[in-house]
Structure 1
Amino acid sequence: MAKSRGFSIYLLKDTFNPENALKDDHNLQLLEEENTNLPNNSIMYLSDTPGSPPWWKNYWGIHKNLYQMQKGSLIFLPVDNSWIVLTFGITYHQLKDNSYHYDFGLKTTLNALDPEKIKSTDILQPENAKRQRVQSPTESSLNFFDIRHDENIIKKLTGAVKSEYIDLFRNVTGASSLRISSNLPAEEITNLCREIIQIYNKTDFIQSFPDIQNIVPVRDPDKIRELNQNLLLAFKNAPVELVLSIPEIMDHSTSFKIKFNGAGRTNFEYYDVYIADYRAYLEERNITQINDVNVFFNHHMAIIDENGNQIKQFSIYKCFLYDCEINGLTYHLTEGEWYLIDKEYITKLENALNPHFINSHTFLHPCDFQREDEYNESVKNANANVICLDKKNISVNGQTQIEPCDLITIHENKINLIHIKISTRSASLSHLFNQGVNSIELLRMEEESKEKLKALVNNNSFDNLIEKGEFSVTYGIITKKDVRGKSSKLPIFSRISLLRAVNTLRMLNIPCSIYFIYDNVDRKKK
């Protein structure tokens, strides 16, 4: 029986081909041999990097000659009117970020996969770029992996295929690329890729995974151009919804730093990812305005180790996180791809959330402070019945610190726990909403946490209500936005996160309200 071999397969977009799909600074060598087994009209590039000693050789003072060799190849394969790219080794990094269909591997996998035989999932929460990988020791259904289709994007799936595809490949892994193993000889690979493209173009996944349609990738080039123009305008106006993020799971057990390039060299390095640092890099290079979205493809965020060696590099475009609304439709940009959020689902969110928004508040006055703790102190100082518990802790001894709230008072014969957050940035709001739920759950489950809250408040009028668990939660969001649209003024994934929090609090019989606090501070200067 022929040996099974692994293939990583990409599908180029219609406007790309072997002449324009590789990065301008690629170091691949065109193979010009004759009499090979390469399919007709295919093109192969080789990666033949000279060996270099591993860093630990000199670190430990080893004199023996040691070299790390990296070999790889990349093949452009014409299949009817499309171009398939087969990559071996790490040559896939030589493809331009925007040259291939990001949904090719995942959609093909969803169409080919037996929904009861999933082995592993990688998911992304676009609201905060949180990534998670879950593996099952046995083949399982999607329910095992506890994926919330209304707030997660499935980035990668691995599992066994349906019976009708077993003759092609038995197992499949899909992300941007398709990873399969095949024992077919070289002359049959083109036909295999042709059948894979046919699987990609099917819609079988809608029946097997119906809820996945809540969030779908945007494929129309004209719509993408329109969205990119919106992105350019947003970069100019600097809304809080536009942020940068590392678009890949990183190993945070090792130290790394951030450096920008593409517009010239810089000596500045950063320990975290902020769009303000990219803007500072542009200012250093005397770039005051960007009018072409392609600039974001040519500028890069590099991940470097403590010695300054590059670990990975991503285009700035691929690092953007952004929500916007055009013609009544909501779009989300993450990892270089635009997604359309189902309109009916948006309506469902608004109907569920808007009743919890309040138009006025007794003592949450407009904000004149740069920091949340300063604002919280101002509210306490202006209201004798309000106690500030910002940065206090009610967690059980030995566990991670959990704040009870930022401000606390008695309202309508309940302990009102008030949580304050500046800005409507999605990741920040996710933390705010989770804080409200975590605090309530702790106070309901742990007697020690109740006693700690009583001690922090130090007011007998609170004790009986705390003991009885009579709580309510208020989220105060400090923003300059026109808040008449209520929940629609929050980023889409913040609305999803808020709905999860509201539903949890409802199950605990905890009233919840959301109030927009007007922000008098110009935060773009920061």
Structure 2
Amino acid sequence: MAKRYRRLNLFMAKPLGDDQTFADLLADAPMHSFPMENNLGIDGVLYVKRSEEKRPVWGSLLDELAGVVIPYLLNRSSSAVLLLRVDGDIFAFTFGYGRHLIDQSLFIQDFGLRTALNTLDEKSLRSVDLHTLEDQPVQKKSQAARDSEVGVFGIDNLRDVLRAVTGVPKRGVGLTQIAGGDAMFSFGTEMEAADFPELARRIRGHYANDDYKTSFAWVDNVRRVKDDVSINALNAQLVQAVSAHSPDIMITLPEIGAWDTILGFSFTRNKDGVRPVIDSADYIDTIPNLAHLTVETLKRDRLFVHDVDGHTTEHSVYRCIYFEIVDGDKTKIIFDGKWYEVDATFVGRIAETLNLIQVSTLTFPAVEMWDEGGKARIESEGDYNIRAAAAHGYFLLDKKLVKTDRATSSIELCDLLTPAKQLVHVKHRKGGSAGLSHLFAQGGVAAEIMLGDRAFRKKARTVLRGVDPAAGDVLPLDNFRSADFEIVFLILGEDSATLKHNLPFFSKVNLSKAFENLTQRGFRVSIAGAPTTPRLFP
């Protein structure tokens, strides 16, 4: 048979157990099996799902418009998968919707992405799919109009997790139109039926090498864990840690909270037990029979957020848990209900950057807590800023917004400003990594606009003079020198001595990013903590 151009999808299976067969790799769906033609020399089985014809859901609407039942409106879905063994490894070539016929958790999860990166020409990318680790994780797809280098896509190698990539292969690869994401590798090639084993063997060779580290080494920084087998194993370790009252279990808000309106938090089985901060023990202590705890319980139970107006919002406790597991040279982290694998080298690099960040020499009061009507309360950010400004002679800029054309909305220059040109940005520690990530981003954006936008500085000086005539002189209109200013990130509810160590990992990543960006622009950067203290006179 003559060779023809084909577009193929390939998966590589994890090793099977001694008593497992090809059929154990299939999803639970009715299908027919066909042995291989003897003269092809293929050790494999073809599985085909019977195709069904269905009218599309919008067919009845068109019938109504035409006044008759319109013929020919039929969808047909065809699915097939070829499972074959090559040199002891098992591969799956899928056709049509065939990827839905296999249990993808039993296949190597980075096979598609890594093989694509090893075979792609890094200067000829067409598109990238990214998962960005923001305060609320964002998924995005970037597509170029022509073959482009990786820098064109604006990838942040500290926060972007690469999910999929397409592009043109390197010379000598012998494939066309490559795409890879997670377990699936897609490509075009001239081939005939007998070529399947050799194709699988050749592509396995591309997967096995480390060519991608020349141009795409950053993809190993953070990877999303997606296969069910690994996730189930990690969830089992999480449940064990919760059951053992591990001090490393952290429960946080999975999204930015409006701290000035939050009254407190409570959990399932003690919804009325509102406390001003999130304490993991408040949840764990209410779980009946910890010995029989399951991950389904964590997903079903709720963290309740109570605001000053009497409204309550809720989140799954599982989504709110932050927990790290050290596994050899990898660190596994659950964040916003998703598991990630972080390379040890990347963890070390972030730690080195954090070591460069100094603790601020400024003085800040402790955050006050008190009991009111039998319920614990904590000082709001707004009240704290007012008290800190009055106690130490800082200018109060909290909620003093400055308009700018370089952002989608007006921004705060900072929360507190000192006569010595220290811009202090303030956020509560309890409440989670979401708010902290927002804090670091907020400080970076404000400083960058202040540095590069004279019109913004002019408007900011007007706002500053409205707060205090002396404040306007702190920010020069012209001859602005970033080295004269220090950006201070003040985190309420945590002591300065333990602050950097106790930050969630992805908050450490965002702090490192902010530090690098700001110091490259000449600013000094420091952090500070303000521990809690009982209020003497409620």
- Asked if TM exceeds 0.5, the reply is yes
Residue number in structure 2 paired with 1:230: 237
Which amino acid in structure 2 is aligned with residue 240 of structure 1? I
Please report how far the alpha carbon of residue 126 of structure 1 lies from its aligned counterpart in structure 2 after TM superposition.
3.5
Which amino acid in structure 1 is aligned with residue 441 of structure 2? N
Deviations 1:382-435 (A, max 9, x none): 542345544443132695214315622315x21523232444744433222111
Once residues 338 and 353 of structure 2 are traced to their aligned partners in structure 1, the CA distance between those partners, rounded to angstroms, is 31
Residue number in structure 1 paired with 2:310: none
Which amino acid in structure 1 is aligned with residue 205 of structure 2? Q
Please report how far the alpha carbon of residue 73 of structure 1 lies from its aligned counterpart in structure 2 after TM superposition.
1.0
- Residue 29 (structure 1) aligned with residue 35 (structure 2): no
Once residues 143 and 353 of structure 1 are traced to their aligned partners in structure 2, the CA distance between those partners, rounded to angstroms, is 26
The structure 1 residue matched to 2:472, chosen from 427, 443, 463, is 463
User: CA distance change for structure 1 residues 218 and 398 in 2, over 3 Å: closer, same or farther?
Assistant: closer
User: Aligned with 1:42: secondary structure?
Assistant: strand
The structure 1 residue matched to 2:181, chosen from 175, 179, 190, is 175
User: CA distance change for structure 1 residues 65 and 36 in 2, over 3 Å: closer, same or farther?
Assistant: farther
Please report how far the alpha carbon of residue 59 of structure 1 lies from its aligned counterpart in structure 2 after TM superposition.
9.3
Residue number in structure 2 paired with 1:453: 460
- Residue 142 (structure 1) aligned with residue 150 (structure 2): yes
Please report how far the alpha carbon of residue 460 of structure 1 lies from its aligned counterpart in structure 2 after TM superposition.
0.5
The structure 1 residue matched to 2:81, chosen from 75, 83, 92, is 75
Alignment of 1:99-248 (within 5 A): 99-128=106-135, 129-166=137-174, 169-176=175-182, 177-215=184-222, 227-233=234-240, 239-240=250-251
User: CA distance change for structure 1 residues 93 and 65 in 2, over 3 Å: closer, same or farther?
Assistant: farther
User: Aligned with 1:98: secondary structure?
Assistant: helix
Please report how far the alpha carbon of residue 110 of structure 1 lies from its aligned counterpart in structure 2 after TM superposition.
1.8
**TM-score normalized by the length of structure 1:** 0.71
The structure 2 residue matched to 1:378, chosen from 371, 381, 384, is 384
Alignment of 1:57-72 (within 5 A): 57-58=60-61, 61-62=64-65, 63-65=67-69, 67=73, 69-72=75-78
Q: CA RMSD in A?
A: 4.5
Please report how far the alpha carbon of residue 2 of structure 1 lies from its aligned counterpart in structure 2 after TM superposition.
5.0
User: Aligned with 2:93: secondary structure?
Assistant: strand
Please identify, of 426-435 and 390-399, the stretch whose mean Cα deviation from structure 2 is larger. Answer: 390-399
Number of paired residues?
Answer: 457
Please report how far the alpha carbon of residue 507 of structure 1 lies from its aligned counterpart in structure 2 after TM superposition.
3.1
- Residue 410 (structure 1) aligned with residue 424 (structure 2): no
The structure 2 residue matched to 1:472, chosen from 486, 508, 523, is 486
Once residues 125 and 511 of structure 1 are traced to their aligned partners in structure 2, the CA distance between those partners, rounded to angstroms, is 27
- Residue 342 (structure 1) aligned with residue 344 (structure 2): yes
User: CA distance change for structure 1 residues 127 and 491 in 2, over 3 Å: closer, same or farther?
Assistant: farther
Once residues 292 and 429 of structure 1 are traced to their aligned partners in structure 2, the CA distance between those partners, rounded to angstroms, is 30
Once residues 471 and 199 of structure 2 are traced to their aligned partners in structure 1, the CA distance between those partners, rounded to angstroms, is 70
User: Aligned with 1:401: secondary structure?
Assistant: coil
Once residues 502 and 494 of structure 1 are traced to their aligned partners in structure 2, the CA distance between those partners, rounded to angstroms, is 12
Which amino acid in structure 2 is aligned with residue 171 of structure 1? Q
Contact residue 420 and residue 477 of structure 1 kept, 8 A: yes
Residue number in structure 2 paired with 1:268: none
Structure (1/2) with the larger strand percentage: 2
Residue number in structure 2 paired with 1:513: 526
Residue number in structure 2 paired with 1:324: 324
Please report how far the alpha carbon of residue 76 of structure 1 lies from its aligned counterpart in structure 2 after TM superposition.
4.4
Once residues 429 and 510 of structure 2 are traced to their aligned partners in structure 1, the CA distance between those partners, rounded to angstroms, is 17
Contact residue 79 and residue 193 of structure 1 kept, 8 A: no
Once residues 520 and 12 of structure 1 are traced to their aligned partners in structure 2, the CA distance between those partners, rounded to angstroms, is 56
Once residues 321 and 84 of structure 2 are traced to their aligned partners in structure 1, the CA distance between those partners, rounded to angstroms, is 34
Alignment of 1:6-45 (within 5 A): 6-15=7-16, 18-23=22-27, 26=28, 28-32=29-33, 40-45=43-48
Please report how far the alpha carbon of residue 323 of structure 1 lies from its aligned counterpart in structure 2 after TM superposition.
5.3
User: CA distance change for structure 1 residues 220 and 189 in 2, over 3 Å: closer, same or farther?
Assistant: closer
Once residues 218 and 418 of structure 1 are traced to their aligned partners in structure 2, the CA distance between those partners, rounded to angstroms, is 34
Please report how far the alpha carbon of residue 333 of structure 1 lies from its aligned counterpart in structure 2 after TM superposition.
5.0
Bigger CA radius of gyration: 2
Which amino acid in structure 2 is aligned with residue 186 of structure 1? A
Please report how far the alpha carbon of residue 321 of structure 1 lies from its aligned counterpart in structure 2 after TM superposition.
8.7
Please identify, of 155-164 and 376-385, the stretch whose mean Cα deviation from structure 2 is larger. Answer: 376-385
Please report how far the alpha carbon of residue 501 of structure 1 lies from its aligned counterpart in structure 2 after TM superposition.
1.2
Once residues 13 and 83 of structure 2 are traced to their aligned partners in structure 1, the CA distance between those partners, rounded to angstroms, is 10
Once residues 373 and 445 of structure 1 are traced to their aligned partners in structure 2, the CA distance between those partners, rounded to angstroms, is 35
Once residues 140 and 250 of structure 2 are traced to their aligned partners in structure 1, the CA distance between those partners, rounded to angstroms, is 28
Once residues 135 and 516 of structure 1 are traced to their aligned partners in structure 2, the CA distance between those partners, rounded to angstroms, is 42
Contact residue 108 and residue 174 of structure 1 kept, 8 A: yes
Contact residue 443 and residue 449 of structure 1 kept, 8 A: yes
Provide structure 2 residue ranges, at least 5 long, that are not aligned to the other structure: 256-279, 301-316, 371-375
Deviations 1:39-71 (A, max 9, x none): 553141316355143348549953554655240
Contact residue 25 and residue 102 of structure 2 kept, 8 A: yes
Contact residue 365 and residue 379 of structure 1 kept, 8 A: no
Residue number in structure 1 paired with 2:514: 501
User: Aligned with 1:164: secondary structure?
Assistant: coil
Once residues 401 and 463 of structure 1 are traced to their aligned partners in structure 2, the CA distance between those partners, rounded to angstroms, is 22
Once residues 80 and 232 of structure 2 are traced to their aligned partners in structure 1, the CA distance between those partners, rounded to angstroms, is 29
Once residues 36 and 391 of structure 1 are traced to their aligned partners in structure 2, the CA distance between those partners, rounded to angstroms, is 75
Aligned-residue sequence identity (percent) comes to 20
Once residues 227 and 94 of structure 2 are traced to their aligned partners in structure 1, the CA distance between those partners, rounded to angstroms, is 26
Please report how far the alpha carbon of residue 105 of structure 1 lies from its aligned counterpart in structure 2 after TM superposition.
0.4
Please identify, of 368-377 and 131-140, the stretch whose mean Cα deviation from structure 2 is larger. Answer: 368-377
Contact residue 5 and residue 190 of structure 2 kept, 8 A: yes
User: CA distance change for structure 1 residues 184 and 50 in 2, over 3 Å: closer, same or farther?
Assistant: same
Provide structure 1 residue ranges, at least 5 long, that are not aligned to the other structure: 245-275, 300-315, 522-526
Contact residue 358 and residue 513 of structure 1 kept, 8 A: yes
**TM-score normalized by the length of structure 2:** 0.70
Once residues 359 and 466 of structure 1 are traced to their aligned partners in structure 2, the CA distance between those partners, rounded to angstroms, is 20
Please report how far the alpha carbon of residue 499 of structure 1 lies from its aligned counterpart in structure 2 after TM superposition.
1.9
Deviations 1:193-248 (A, max 9, x none): 2221222122232345444444478999999887444333466676236959xxxx
- Residue 356 (structure 1) aligned with residue 357 (structure 2): yes
Contact residue 35 and residue 44 of structure 2 kept, 8 A: no
